[in-house]
Structure 1
Amino acid sequence: MDKLLKSISYIFHPLIMPILGVIFYFAKSPRFIPEEVIHAKLISLFILTIILPLLLFFLLKTLGKVKTIKLETTKERIYPLFLNCIIIVLVLKRIVTPSQVLELYYFFLGILISNLTCLLLVILKIKASIHLMALSGILMFFIALSIHFSININGTLALMSIIIGAVATSRLHLKAHNYMELIIGFFIGLVPQLILVNYWL
């Protein structure tokens, strides 16, 4: 059970959530988008939101700024969150501009707001669950897309709810967070996406 719960935290790591949201968007969007455009954006996002953060993590580890990928202390979280904010700004400026894909622009803007909020909290020595932040943000984005495109994705939403419950259980079992940190993380991810829905739904 311990190995299962630990693996859940790695399988549903926050780094992969943004690109999963983008893949879901392209899979469900009724708009015609050339395949080469989709592939180009996915490759660019994979490099910027997964490969680059991993490389920066190893750089920070080499410099002694972080100890493990778990980022157990608030101090360890400052640099990764700050660098991730810069990466998201780059994504907004170069890859998902509002003139190209409005929904994805606001999705990533919500991610940026969540990351900035989390960064502010860690500066104030308040720890929030980044796992729950990422998952709740993508859940709200999926709900908004289902309304926006008038599609039935109840199965996906149910699965996402189960995943959120499993990840929360995993984080508690591993003593990575307490209940309050999970709740804070959940709302940090969900609320920005909910507010920004008003601008594109």
Structure 2
Amino acid sequence: MDKLLKSISYIFHPLIMPLLGVIFYFSKSPRFIPREVIQAKLVSLSILTIILPILLFYLLRTLGKVKSINLESTEERIYPLILNSIIIILVLKRIATPSQVIELYFFFLGILISNLTCLLLAFLKFKASIHMIGISGIFMFFVALSIHFSININGTLALMVIIIGAIATSRLHMNAHTYIELILGFFIGMIPQLILVNYWL
């Protein structure tokens, strides 16, 4: 059980959440989008939101700015969150532009707002759960897409609720966060997506 709970935190790592949201969007969108365009965007996003952050993490660790991938202290979170904000801005400028895919533009804009909120809290010495920010953000995005495209994804949403509970349990088991940090992380991820729905739904 100990290994299972620890593995959940790695399987559902925040780095993969934006890409999962984009994959889900392309799989459910009724709009015709050329396969070549989809593949190009997925490859670009994989490089920018997963591979590049990993490389930057190892650079920061070499420079002594972070100690572990868990970013246990608020001080360790500052540089990764700043760099991640820059990466998300690049995504908004180059990949998920409003003229191409309006839904993904506001999805990543919500991610940017959540990221900056988490960064502000880190400066204030408060550690919100980035895992909960990631999973709650795409959960709200999935709900919005189901309404926007008039599709029934109740099974997916039910599975998402289970995953959210599993992630919260995992983070508590690992003593990575308190209940307050998990709850705050959940709302930091969800609320920006909920507010921005008004601009594209």
- Could you say which residue in structure 1 is the equivalent of 2:39? 39
Aligned amino acid, residue 106 of structure 1: F
Distance 1:121 1:44 in 2: 30
Give SS of 1:138's match: helix
- Could you say which residue in structure 1 is the equivalent of 2:199? 199
Aligned amino acid, residue 34 of structure 2: P
Q: CA deviation at 1:51?
A: 0.2
Distance 1:57 1:2 in 2: 26
Distance 1:68 1:105 in 2: 31
- Could you say which residue in structure 2 is the equivalent of 1:175? 175
Give SS of 1:142's match: helix
- Could you say which residue in structure 1 is the equivalent of 2:101? 101
Q: Where in structure 2 are the equivalents of 1:1-201 lying within 5 Å?
A: 1-201=1-201
Q: CA deviation at 1:88?
A: 0.0
Distance 1:70 1:117 in 2: 19
Distance 2:5 2:53 in 1: 24
Q: CA deviation at 1:37?
A: 0.1
Distance 1:46 1:22 in 2: 10
Query: Which string of whole-angstrom CA distances, capped at 9 and with x for unpartnered residues, describes residues 25-57 of structure 1?
Result: 000000000000000000000000000000000
Distance 2:78 2:161 in 1: 29
- Structure 1 gaps of 5+ residues are none
Normalised to the residue count of structure 2, the TM-score between the two structures is 1.00
Write out the 4+ residue segments of structure 1 that deviate beyond 4 Å after TM superposition: none
Normalised to the residue count of structure 1, the TM-score between the two structures is 1.00
Distance 1:39 1:141 in 2: 21
Q: CA deviation at 1:19?
A: 0.2
Query: Which string of whole-angstrom CA distances, capped at 9 and with x for unpartnered residues, describes residues 85-108 of structure 1?
Result: 000000000001000000000000
Q: CA deviation at 1:162?
A: 0.2
Distance 1:116 1:74 in 2: 14
Aligned amino acid, residue 23 of structure 1: I
Q: CA deviation at 1:136?
A: 0.3
Aligned amino acid, residue 6 of structure 1: K
Number of matched pairs = 201
Query: Which string of whole-angstrom CA distances, capped at 9 and with x for unpartnered residues, describes residues 125-174 of structure 1?
Result: 01100000000000000000000000000000000000000000000000
Distance 2:44 2:36 in 1: 12
Distance 1:135 1:96 in 2: 20
Distance 1:165 1:4 in 2: 14
Distance 1:131 1:160 in 2: 13
Cα-Cα RMSD: 0.2
Aligned amino acid, residue 156 of structure 1: T
Q: CA deviation at 1:189?
A: 0.1
